[in-house]
C-alpha cells in the first residue's frame, strides 16, 4: 500500500469499547431524572450517536424539557465510569508506530466530541496525534453514508485513494468503501466473513498487524 499517506480511525471497536459504559451512564442518568428506560431501548441506536439514548426516552416520556439536563448527567456519569472502559491494547502502539513512519492520522466517529476526548484520554492517546477529529455533530449524515470519511479527506486535503480506514463495523466498512478508500477491518465486533462481504480489503484480529501491511 505504498500510495497510502493517511490513516483514518473509527473509535469504538477499534481504539476502545465504550458502549457498555456509555449505556450504563445513560441508564443511570435517565433513572435519576425519573425517565423510565432499559438497556434494550438503546440497542437500535448503537453507532448512531449516544445522544439518542437520552433524546428518545425523554420524548417517549413526554419530558423533552429534561433532555439537556439528563444528557449532561450522562456525560458526567461516563467520565466517572471511564475506568471501567475497555481499551484495546494495540491502539496506542499502532498510532505511535504510524506517526513515527510519517503517516497523517484522523479520527471519525458518530460519538459526541466530549465522549471522544474522554475516551482518548483514558486510552493514553494524545488528541493531537490526529490532524482531524470528526464527531457526530460535525457531519450531516452517518455511516454507512460515505459523507463522514469524505469530510475527513476534505479536511485533510487528501485524495481518497491515499486513505486507509481502520474500522470494526459493517456500516463503517461500507462507508469507507463508498468513499473509495482502502479499508482494514478488525474482528472485534463482526466475523471476518461478514467484514469481507461488506467490502473490507484487509481483515485482522489485531490492528497492530496494520503496521505490517501498510
Active site residues: 10, 12
Whether the Cβ atoms of residue 47 and residue 169 lie closer than 8 Å to each other: yes
The SS3 of residue 210 is helix
Residue with cell 471497536: 13
Nearest to 131 by CA among 98, 161, 171: 98
Nearest to 86 by CA among 183, 11, 187: 11
Count of positions (residues) in the chain: 214
Q: Is the N-terminal amide bond of 144 cis, ω within 30° of 0?
A: yes
CA–CA distance, 136 with 124 (Å, rounded to integer): 22
The SS3 of residue 204 is strand
Q: How many C-alpha atoms does 36 have within 13 Å on its Cβ side?
A: 3
Amino acid at each position: 500500500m505504498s500510495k497510502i499517506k493517511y490513516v483514518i480511525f473509527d473509535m469504538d471497536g477499534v481504539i476502545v469499547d465504550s458502549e457498555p459504559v456509555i449505556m450504563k451512564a445513560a441508564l443511570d442518568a435517565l433513572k435519576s431524572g425519573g425517565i423510565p428506560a432499559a438497556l434494550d431501548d438503546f440497542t437500535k441506536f448503537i453507532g448512531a450517536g449516544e445522544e439518542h439514548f437520552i433524546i428518545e426516552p425523554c420524548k417517549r416520556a413526554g419530558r423533552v424539557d429534561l433532555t439537556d439536563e439528563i444528557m449532561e448527567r450522562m456525560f458526567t456519569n461516563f467520565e466517572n465510569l471511564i475506568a471501567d472502559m475497555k481499551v484495546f491494547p494495540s491502539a496506542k502502539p499502532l498510532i505511535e508506530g504510524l506517526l513515527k513512519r510519517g503517516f497523517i492520522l484522523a479520527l471519525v466517529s458518530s460519538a459526541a466530541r466530549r465522549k471522544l476526548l474522554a475516551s482518548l484520554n483514558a486510552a493514553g492517546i494524545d488528541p493531537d496525534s490526529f490532524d482531524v477529529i470528526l464527531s457526530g455533530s460535525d457531519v450531516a449524515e452517518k455511516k454507512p453514508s460515505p459523507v463522514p470519511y469524505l469530510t475527513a479527506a476534505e479536511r485533510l486535503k487528501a485524495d481518497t485513494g491515499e486513505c486507509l480506514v481502520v474500522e470494526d463495523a459493517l456500516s463503517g466498512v461500507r462507508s469507507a468503501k463508498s468513499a473509495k478508500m482502502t479499508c482494514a477491518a478488525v474482528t472485534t465486533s463482526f466475523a471476518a466473513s461478514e467484514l469481507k462481504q461488506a467490502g473490507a480489503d484487509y481483515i485482522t484480529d489485531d490492528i497492530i498487524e496494520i503496521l505490517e501491511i501498510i
